[in-house]
Amino acid sequence: AQSVAQPEDQVNVAEGNPLTVKCTYSVSGNPYLFWYVQYPNRGLQFLLKYITGDNLVKGSYGFEAEFNKSQTSFHLKKPSALVSDSALYFCAVRRRSNDYKLSFGAGTTVTVRA
Amino acid sequence: GAGVSQSPRYKVAKRGQDVALRCDPISGHVSLFWYQQALGQGPEFLTYFQNEAQLDKSGLPSDRFFAERPEGSVSTLKIQRTQQEDSAVYLCASSPIGGAEDTQYFGPGTRLTVL
């Protein structure tokens, strides 16, 4: 079974509007959760992660994500999107154990129009 | 400091050729990972090293794939007798300590095209 689901292949928003990229996970226990962004012909860039503590995590470039254990979700948010935020976003999960590998979702393409 | 670097950035191989992909992790990082990213998909785990020890190779798709990190720094992913289905971007990542909470930092990837 897939560990991470990103239900939207594409998200389109206007510049200045709020941006939300959805992610749900299906692993047992309390996992570690990550968001990465990928620009064309470049590797993955780390945005933020949830390890423990406050459910609202703040990361790079004004992004934040909220961990919701009851809904097994970790949605990525940005209050005011920029055209430069247009990219491919990946949610990833890692079990709280000696399972070192990241399991990624299929990705969500974000397009921010001017 | 410098990030993770990979070479070559692009590789075209004829079916049946052997290829070697190199990864230079961030200096001092203990853990190193290889992932395979097929077109339009998220990265899939291939293998994991802690220093020079290969602790997990469960994601390697066949015995044609081989990875090494002999001195605990640079790593090489080798694919023998390449097939068209091997065409993908191969991503290398490193992390400082090796704990599950560690952030993995990715290189730019090597795009392999097998003709």
Question: Which of A33, A36, A44 has the most B C-beta neighbours within 10 Å, making it the best mutation to test the interface with B?
Answer: A44
Contact, B46 vs B58, CB < 8 A?
no
- Under an 8 A CB cutoff, do B91 and A43 touch? yes
- Under an 8 A CB cutoff, do A43 and B100 touch? no
Predicted confidence (pLDDT) at residue B52 exceeds the cutoff of 70 = yes
Cα angle B106, B110, B113; round to 5? 145
What count of other Cβ atoms lies within 10 Å of the Cβ of residue A111?
13
Contacts of A40 (CB under 8 A, 6+ apart): none
Predicted pLDDT of residue A96 = 76
Taking the Cβ of residue B97 and every Cβ of chain A, the question of whether any pair is shorter than 8 Å is answered with no
Mean of the per-residue pLDDT values of chain A? 92
Percent helix, strand, coil in chain A, to 5, is 5, 50, 45
Contacts of A99 in chain B (CB under 8 A): 100
Predicted pLDDT of residue A41 = 76
Predicted pLDDT of residue A2 = 58
What count of other Cβ atoms lies within 10 Å of the Cβ of residue A68?
12
CA-nearest of B80, B42, B41 to B61 is B80
Q: What confidence tens digit (pLDDT) does each residue in B54-113 have?
A: 999 999 999 999 999 999 999 999 999 999 999 999 999 999 987 778 899 999 999 999
Predicted confidence (pLDDT) at residue A77 exceeds the cutoff of 70 = yes
CA-nearest of B41, B46, B36, B51 to B110 is B36
Mean pLDDT of the region A71-87: 96
Contacts of A37 (CB under 8 A, 6+ apart): A44, A45, A47, A87, A88, A89, A90
Contact, A72 vs A48, CB < 8 A?
no
Q: What is the largest CA-CA distance in chain B?
A: 40
Contacts of A95 in chain B (CB under 8 A): 100
Contact, B10 vs B110, CB < 8 A?
yes
Mean pLDDT of the region A56-84: 95
Indicate the pLDDT class of residue B24, thresholds 50, 70 and 90: very high
Contacts of B26 in chain A (CB under 8 A): none
What does the alpha-carbon distance between residue B67 and residue B70 come to, in Å, rounded to a whole number?
10
